[in-house]
A and B are shown apart, each in its own frame.
Chain A
Amino acid sequence: MVLMSMHEQTRPDQRETYKIPGLSEYSFTSDVDRRREIYRSKRDRFGSTQMAARKLLLLSRYSSAHLRSIGSVSLLLNLSFFHLSFAFAKSLSKMATEAHHQCRSCGWARGFGSYSSSSGVDEPIIPSVKITDTQLLIDGKFVDAASGKTFPTLDPRTGDVITHVAEGDAEDVDRAVAAARKAFDEGPWPRMTAYERSRILLRFADLLEKHNDDLAAIETWDNGKPYKQAAEDEIPSIVRLMRYYAGWVDKIHGLTVPADGQYHAQTLHEPIGVVGQIVPWNFPLLMFAWKIGPALACGNTVVLKTAELTPLSALYAARLLHEAGLPPGVLNIISGFGSTAGSALSSHMDVNKLAFTGSTETGRTVLDLAAKSNLKPVTLELGGKSPFIVCKDADIDQAVELAHIALFYNQGQCCAAGSRTFVHESVYDEFVEKARARATKRVVGDPFKPEVEQGPQIDNGQFEKIRTYIKSGIESGATLECGGERYGSKGYFIQPTVFSNVQDDMLIAEDEIFGPVQTVSKFKDLDEVIRRANNSRYGLAAGVFTQNIDTANTLARALKVGTVWINCYHIIHAALPFGGYKMSGFGREKGEYSLRNYLQVKAVVIPLKNPAWL
């Protein structure tokens, strides 16, 4: 229904395009317009920069023979590594942004194809959904922040403000934790029967299903992801996940345990208590569901901090969860920034468990705060640089399509993105040609349009960071097959970008770019590709493309990653555990494994008199 009304609002493409020989079909407005847009579209808040904070991108003069500058000045960013405080990161990002704007954008060419475009976003489709919930959710009530402060949440298609949201800080976190503590220590939630908890989650799933289109619209508006993806994949998968966890609630089993003598021993699987959860902006509601699903199924109470870039959908969903019968205080939601609210939650002395999804750098901070406070156990789902390995016997067309989806899905803003594509030398040339053709066909535009495959990046910080990486790729000698520029003149759209001839020591091969940048490299044999695939500080996922069962089995065991997809990718089902090796984090989400994060195991032992057996 929502989709229909949006179609009606769609206007014909009125954008002017300038065709530049040898370049893809870029659209530019005048420089003046461009500047105006630049000044309007600042959005350098903490969250947007937490990615940028991992590495400082320093500007340096750039010149390279195989690039052609369009602007008057060509600058590219060199990269160097710094660990930054959040505040520092913020200013750096601003600096990078401004510097970039000053030098204007450059374009470069190497036989670009013509990008499939939907329409620009000069006339963004405004969804019909009403944003009703913008306050903090504490103890079952929507309330203002103690400070009374708010912050804007922006539409990444335009940089315009959607609405203002209450900005939670340490004091609000304290209130939320107190509510969650009371709900856990005295409230009905852990005390009701598992079946009753299960019914509440099932009713929640039904309500989510009923509000599917509104939730999807909020998600697209706040995040920029294709509406079709949100409405047809993400929200239904959240509904499905809630039903999955509802099914676990009444099947959480302890064990009776064999003792070495005359003892009766058993384990009780108890809820751990008040759980702090911090979720990222790339899949705001899906990550919300991954977090609260197992925590609530196990009988815990929760304080969840949403990403400051995408605070809206969780509040809407939380209202539905209360409609479904969740007692007050069981789920509390704090909108706010990492350096304030996130930090308060991570270091809180009365939070019994912390779960974080986000960047590896922030994960390190979270872990550090847990260590310095009350040693709360932590699960971390962090960054990735996941290999996608195309063997010589693979069906190339399928492999190209999957590798494309593996990387470009959700604007490349997936922790499990298949961002290192390794292709066997015998099929490499064909693969690269087809991968470029596929990327060139990718439809970029207003994510509310059903034909659009790729919307804008989340914010200016990400946008600039990705462009910086693209420049670094070119500078380091990788071949830019297509893309490389911003798309359109407004918002944070980036052209689907493919690099070939990527070497493992290039930054674009080492770092998580978190954008629509595919990097393709060549390999000769299995041992080599195993070694290279594992040569990463990350270990989240891998894709393997082969028809050979032995190759598949060997790679499945050899890759140091939490998920191996064989002849498929991004299969994220409720029962499948997901999580990282190495610096991609620890702990697993979804599946039975996720319950372990939210249960205390208590062994109970008692002597046995005259037992009939042991």
Chain B
Amino acid sequence: MAENQGNANGSQKIYDEHVPEIKFTKLFINGEFVDSIKGRTFETIDPRNGRVSARVAEGDKEDVDLAVQAARQAFDHGPWPRMPGYQRARIMSKFADLIEENIDELAALDTIDAGKLFGMGKTMDIPHAATCLRFYAGAADKIHGEVLKMSRELHGYTLMEPIGVVGHIIPWNFPTSMFFMKVAPAMAAGCTMIVKPAEQTPLSALFYADLAKKAGVPDGVINVVTGFGSTAGAAITNHMDIDMVSFTGSTEVGRIVMQAAATSNLKQVSLELGGKSPLMIFDDADLDTATDLALIGILYNKGEICVAGSRVYVQEGIYEEFKKKLVAKAKAWPVGDPFDPKVQQGPQVDKQQFEKILSYIEHGKREGGTLLTGGERLGTEGYYIQPTIFTNVKEDNVIVKDEIFGPVMSLMKFKTVEEAIKRANDTRYGLAAGIVTKNIDVANTVSRSIRAGIIWINCYFAFDNDCPYGGYKMSGFGRDLGLDALHKYLHVKSVVTPLYNSPWL
């Protein structure tokens, strides 16, 4: 236990100067911050210590109705879809600039809400929100339909039209990145939207709503309704006047979202769901690179990431040595207060997740897995868990099958490329996969063979604004990021008219 101790205990006293004043706690509807109609609020908790950071308006169905009305009005009659893409882009660029002016405060909000590393927020999550906006701002004036090759005397073309009012339901693990992964392409497309942030992490989304208004986003284009999935979330997914719902979260809730869409107005759905992504390390891999990738693959953001490399397959030739190095590095992994710049891992997001992860660890032990390191909570306060590695587990063990969403790795051995492919694909998920090898044939064969939306070869978490990602199988459908995400928010309309005396067809 001693190896992983950062300063998980009593640290809030040291770092409280980073904790910002909470400015926005109300719903953001039609350009205004408003109380929920019922006047209810809920607590948002600092996972470093379990204390209440703020009370936030609890949106419910009536509030969602108001938000949808505002978004509908903004779409049907407002300037947003009617202005040139370039003008939308200018507003989005301004939005990006405003984010860059508020990096510290936004990073701190995500840290006290989600337990995320403050340093990572300042250098990655928040700046990347700005680059994401700029990327899609640059795409807003490049939305091309096509002129078609009709088979007779007809002139045909396609119009790429904004899909309309979009509901975004986003998770708590990347409150900022997820917000912009959804909002930025939908804005570029000309859609209007209702965003429901996770109830664990409502704070930064409200801050972004305020920045959006300051940047000149017209009222009603972005509405933020904070609240719970079973109420506000359900109101969005069941709404008869929302044209599309874009959800990121667990596979279980994704199923509910899709059912709600099916039983309401058949709104379009895109789902980014769970994963149990394999990282395959072959005999020729450089061990230092491989262990670093494996470790960051499961411990980044405390394992609370849908693409976590939670199943690590190592070829038998290097397995023992790999294991030794990996465990040593895991034990030295600094866990503690996420404001501490030396710390690599903060607390899990909340008590529920914390307990779920610990129960999976217990399950792993009961099923006969060998615990190589970790397996316990760290400290006595907050929701810290030790980096945990199991071995001697198989694809039918619960901890290998289920998405744990915590710092718990299943380490397994394989003999051949074919075996690695077969076992890596033996999952209901298909979000991501990692390959560590210098052999180009192995890399190419495995890349095509794995049924997953993104493959990282000799790297991991190599996200990029231009690089789409999303799921195969029960990891969902639709893509976030890249121009694919933009197209998700566009309808294709074909227009056809007869053509007379054309000199060519």
B32 adjacent to chain A (CB < 8 Å): no
A192 adjacent to chain B (CB < 8 Å): no
Q: Is the CB of B499 within 8 A of A243?
A: no
The interface residues of chain B lying within 8 Å CB-to-CB of A194 are 466
Q: For residue A609, which residue of chain B has the nearest CB?
A: B441
State whether A243 and B131 are in contact (beta carbons under 8 Å apart), knowing that A553-B499, A554-B499, A554-B501 are contacts in the complex. Answer: no
Q: Which of A503-543 contact B (CB under 8 A)?
A: 526-527
Cα A493 to Cα B441 with chains together (Å): 71
Say which one of B137-145, B243-251, B360-368 lies at the interface with A: B137-145
Cα A554 to Cα B497 with chains together (Å): 11
CB distance from A250 to the nearest CB of B (A): 6
A582 adjacent to chain B (CB < 8 Å): no
Q: Is the CB of B444 within 8 A of A195?
A: no
The interface residues of chain B lying within 8 Å CB-to-CB of A195 are 131, 134-135, 465
State whether A608 and B444 are in contact (beta carbons under 8 Å apart), knowing that A246-B138, A250-B135 are contacts in the complex. Answer: yes
Q: For residue B451, which residue of chain A has the nearest CB?
A: A612
Interface residues of chain B: helix, strand, loop or mixed (majority) = helix
B440 adjacent to chain A (CB < 8 Å): yes
Cα A47 to Cα B481 with chains together (Å): 49
CB distance from A245 to the nearest CB of B (A): 9
State whether A247 and B89 are in contact (beta carbons under 8 Å apart), knowing that A553-B500, A558-B503 are contacts in the complex. Answer: yes
The interface residues of chain A lying within 8 Å CB-to-CB of B142 are 244, 247-248, 251, 575, 592
A36 adjacent to chain B (CB < 8 Å): no
The interface residues of chain A lying within 8 Å CB-to-CB of B131 are 195
Cα A531 to Cα B13 with chains together (Å): 85
Q: Which of B356-411 contact A (CB under 8 A)?
A: none
Q: Is the CB of A574 within 8 A of B483?
A: no
Cα A248 to Cα B418 with chains together (Å): 40
B149 adjacent to chain A (CB < 8 Å): no
Cα A421 to Cα B142 with chains together (Å): 33
CB distance from A194 to the nearest CB of B (A): 8
The interface residues of chain B lying within 8 Å CB-to-CB of A202 are 93, 134
The interface residues of chain B lying within 8 Å CB-to-CB of A558 are 501-503
State whether A247 and B155 are in contact (beta carbons under 8 Å apart), knowing that A553-B497, A557-B503, A609-B444 are contacts in the complex. Answer: no
A240 adjacent to chain B (CB < 8 Å): yes
Q: Is the CB of A550 within 8 A of B498?
A: yes
Cα A608 to Cα B444 with chains together (Å): 7
Could you give, for residues 84-118 of chain B, a 1 whenever the CB lies within 8 Å of some chain A CB and a 0 otherwise? 00100110010000000000000000000000000
CB distance from A550 to the nearest CB of B (A): 5
Cα A194 to Cα B464 with chains together (Å): 11
The interface residues of chain B lying within 8 Å CB-to-CB of A611 are 444-445, 448-449
The 8 Å CB contact of B449, one of A198, A549, A612, is: A612
The interface residues of chain A lying within 8 Å CB-to-CB of B502 are 553-554, 557-558
Interface residues of chain A: helix, strand, loop or mixed (majority) = helix
Q: What total of chain A residues lie within 8 Å of the partner, measured CB to CB? A: 34
The 8 Å CB contact of B139, one of A247, A549, A553, A557, is: A247
Q: Which of A572-608 contact B (CB under 8 A)?
A: 574-575, 592, 606-608
CB distance from B465 to the nearest CB of A (A): 7
A15 adjacent to chain B (CB < 8 Å): no
The interface residues of chain A lying within 8 Å CB-to-CB of B418 are 610
The 8 Å CB contact of A574, one of B141, B444, B498, B503, is: B141
CB distance from B351 to the nearest CB of A (A): 39
A264 adjacent to chain B (CB < 8 Å): yes
CB distance from B452 to the nearest CB of A (A): 12
Cα A613 to Cα B504 with chains together (Å): 38
The interface residues of chain B lying within 8 Å CB-to-CB of A244 are 86, 141-142
The 8 Å CB contact of B445, one of A243, A253, A592, A608, is: A608
Cα A553 to Cα B502 with chains together (Å): 8
The 8 Å CB contact of A198, one of B134, B440, B497, is: B134
Cα A195 to Cα B131 with chains together (Å): 8
The interface residues of chain B lying within 8 Å CB-to-CB of A606 are 440, 444
Q: For residue B417, which residue of chain A has the nearest CB?
A: A610
Q: What total of chain B residues lie within 8 Å of the partner, measured CB to CB? A: 34
Q: Most chain-B CB neighbours within 10 Å: which of A198, A247, A608?
A: A247
CB distance from B278 to the nearest CB of A (A): 15
The interface residues of chain A lying within 8 Å CB-to-CB of B497 are 549, 553
Cα A554 to Cα B503 with chains together (Å): 8
Cα A550 to Cα B440 with chains together (Å): 56
Q: For residue A246, which residue of chain B has the nearest CB?
A: B138
Q: For residue B84, which residue of chain A has the nearest CB?
A: A573
The interface residues of chain A lying within 8 Å CB-to-CB of B500 are 550, 553-554
State whether A250 and B465 are in contact (beta carbons under 8 Å apart), knowing that A554-B502, A557-B499, A557-B502 are contacts in the complex. Answer: yes
State whether A553 and B141 are in contact (beta carbons under 8 Å apart), knowing that A558-B502, A558-B503, A611-B448 are contacts in the complex. Answer: no
The 8 Å CB contact of B137, one of A247, A264, A607, A613, is: A247
CB distance from A197 to the nearest CB of B (A): 12
The interface residues of chain A lying within 8 Å CB-to-CB of B499 are 550, 553-554, 557
The interface residues of chain A lying within 8 Å CB-to-CB of B93 are 202
Q: For residue B440, which residue of chain A has the nearest CB?
A: A606
The interface residues of chain A lying within 8 Å CB-to-CB of B90 are 243
Q: For residue A244, which residue of chain B has the nearest CB?
A: B141
The 8 Å CB contact of A608, one of B139, B140, B448, B501, is: B448
Could you give, for residues 536-574 of chain A, a 1 whenever the CB lies within 8 Å of some chain B CB and a 0 otherwise? 000000000000011001100110000000000000001
CB distance from B181 to the nearest CB of A (A): 16
Q: For residue B446, which residue of chain A has the nearest CB?
A: A612
State whether A240 and B466 are in contact (beta carbons under 8 Å apart), knowing that A608-B444, A611-B448 are contacts in the complex. Answer: no
The interface residues of chain A lying within 8 Å CB-to-CB of B135 are 195, 250-251
CB distance from A542 to the nearest CB of B (A): 14
The interface residues of chain A lying within 8 Å CB-to-CB of B139 are 247, 251
State whether A574 and B86 are in contact (beta carbons under 8 Å apart), knowing that A558-B501, A592-B144, A610-B445 are contacts in the complex. Answer: yes
The interface residues of chain B lying within 8 Å CB-to-CB of A527 are 501
Cα A549 to Cα B500 with chains together (Å): 10
The interface residues of chain B lying within 8 Å CB-to-CB of A264 are 444, 448
CB distance from B189 to the nearest CB of A (A): 15
CB distance from A248 to the nearest CB of B (A): 7
Cα A526 to Cα B449 with chains together (Å): 59
Q: For residue A245, which residue of chain B has the nearest CB?
A: B138
CB distance from B422 to the nearest CB of A (A): 11
Q: For residue A551, which residue of chain B has the nearest CB?
A: B500
Q: Is the CB of B498 within 8 A of A247?
A: no
CB distance from B499 to the nearest CB of A (A): 5
Q: Which of B227-244 contact A (CB under 8 A)?
A: none
CB distance from B126 to the nearest CB of A (A): 16
Cα A249 to Cα B421 with chains together (Å): 36
Cα A166 to Cα B373 with chains together (Å): 73
The 8 Å CB contact of B138, one of A247, A526, A549, A609, is: A247
Cα A612 to Cα B444 with chains together (Å): 10
Cα A575 to Cα B440 with chains together (Å): 39
The interface residues of chain A lying within 8 Å CB-to-CB of B138 are 198, 243, 246-251
Please, could you name 24 A-B residue pairs with CB atoms under 8 Å apart, sorted by A?
A195-B465, A198-B134, A198-B138, A202-B134, A244-B142, A247-B89, A247-B142, A248-B138, A250-B135, A250-B465, A251-B138, A264-B444, A264-B448, A526-B501, A550-B499, A554-B500, A554-B502, A557-B155, A558-B503, A575-B144, A592-B142, A592-B144, A606-B444, A609-B444
Q: What 6 A-B pairs come out closest when comparing CB atoms? A: A247-B138, A612-B449, A609-B441, A557-B502, A612-B448, A611-B448
